[in-house]
Amino acid sequence: MKPRKSKYPQIEALEITDIAAEGKSLGKYNDVVVFVPHTVPGDVVRVQINNKRRRFMEGYVLDFVQYSPLRVEPFCKHYGECGGCKWQALPYPMQLEYKQRQVAGQLRRLGGIELPEISLIIGSEKSEYYRNKLEFTFSDKRWVPRAEVAEGAATGDGDALGFHIPGMFDKVLDVEWCHLQPEPSNAIRLEVKRFVQENGMEFYNLREHRGLLRNIIVRTSTTGEVMVTVVFAREDAVARTALLEHLRVRFPEITSLNYIINEKLNDSIGDQEVFCYSGKPYMEERMENLTFRINPKSFYQTNSEQAYNLYKVARDFAELTGDEVVYDLYTGTGTIANFVAARAKRVVGIEYVPEAIEDAKQNSALNGIGNTLFFAGDMKDVLNAEFIAEHGRPDVIILDPPRAGIHGDVAATILAAAPRRIVYVSCNPATQARDLAIFDSAYRVTRVQPVDMFPHTHHVENVVQLVRR
């Protein structure tokens, strides 16, 4: 199959000089920045440009003219096709260096505020098999890897159970082995695919919305428990029972086996009923002396061991003595709130998702924690002067907002509440920097601690302590 001609130019020998945002690297061609994925500094590559703007260009590698001495061999056979783990070719210590630099650069450039010395990033002890949750998608339109296309393979043929190709909602990479989640994750996925194919069950067509099998979600815990949730596109009691019973017998280590019938056009399951087929309707995770119950729709940090390190940093930055009223904003399932409760007078958690708040309350009860209160609703509507008057002015506020950061009204309410300390946990240092600038008139940043939750990706968590001026 001949490659299509591009309207954009090729660059014969582009030297990659630095790491850029979103897992890409960059070089310069005639003083114009060129972003190229799957490269590392020191690589010299032949590049096909596929996006050209006035100030930058984007492209992909056609050939490596020279490999960087920094480069390491990617450990996954799907590297370059799958949208995840884009930094596999970069040694992990260097990944940490770039993440440290990313945090410092974004806080200084976008925040424009005075900063203390930024602590050395806390790396993940595990750089493979560190995730506790993966969701795999069924598709009857398998993404054909470039190597197969070069050999003349037909496109879009066959079934796949794996990950969406970035930017292509209806194409799924058939994953043979994933290095993100510990076993039995791969064994379960591969057995499900085999059983479904051998029994003539239909893989879902994402474009035409037909077929039976949509998704499978596998969750594992450090306690050794395994949760599997199979999502069907329609009710078919015979096929559903056959698959679930096979999983129950074949994998006795599954402690929670569930299913969902999702007849909607999208894959979100937040509004769908979960049915427990066998085992418990939840699994349990432990952190210090606390037990957290996780149901199929619960949010829990996907790197359990690093989550513990992250929460220890947040608790340390809160500097609690036992007399403080703490507000945990964007509390999720109350993990941080329950984690710090033993060192506080009272913890008040607020979260948008009602089901998450029910999980938070349940986890407090499960652990005999009696000094937490949880409320569901939109943060900017719930957190106001009346709420604070009723539940007490916070001495410390811990906030862990979504990637978009906090709403302006929320920032204004926090400033009016004037807590002594703010602990800001962020998965996006760019929006965190913007918010820190809002607080700068009343608070100074006193401690900064990056934490790497997701090795081989460009994502980084960052914890900042702010003290009232």
Q: Which residues are catalytic?
A: 427
Close Cβ partners of 54 (under 8 Å, ≥ 6 residues apart):
none
For residue 46, give the 3-state DSSP assignment. Answer: strand
H helix intervals, 179-270: 185-198, 237-250
For residue 394, give the 3-state DSSP assignment. Answer: coil
3-state DSSP helix/strand/coil % of the chain, to nearest 5: 25, 30, 40
Beta carbons within 10 angstroms of residue 152's beta carbon: 7
**Edge-to-edge order in the sheet of strand 396-399:** 372-376, 346-351, 325-329, 396-399, 421-426, 461-468, 443-451
Close Cβ partners of 347 (under 8 Å, ≥ 6 residues apart):
326, 327, 328, 337, 338, 340, 341, 371, 372, 373
Omega within 30 of 0 (cis) for the link into 184 = yes
Quick one: tokens of 422? 């703010």
CA distance 419 to 33: 44
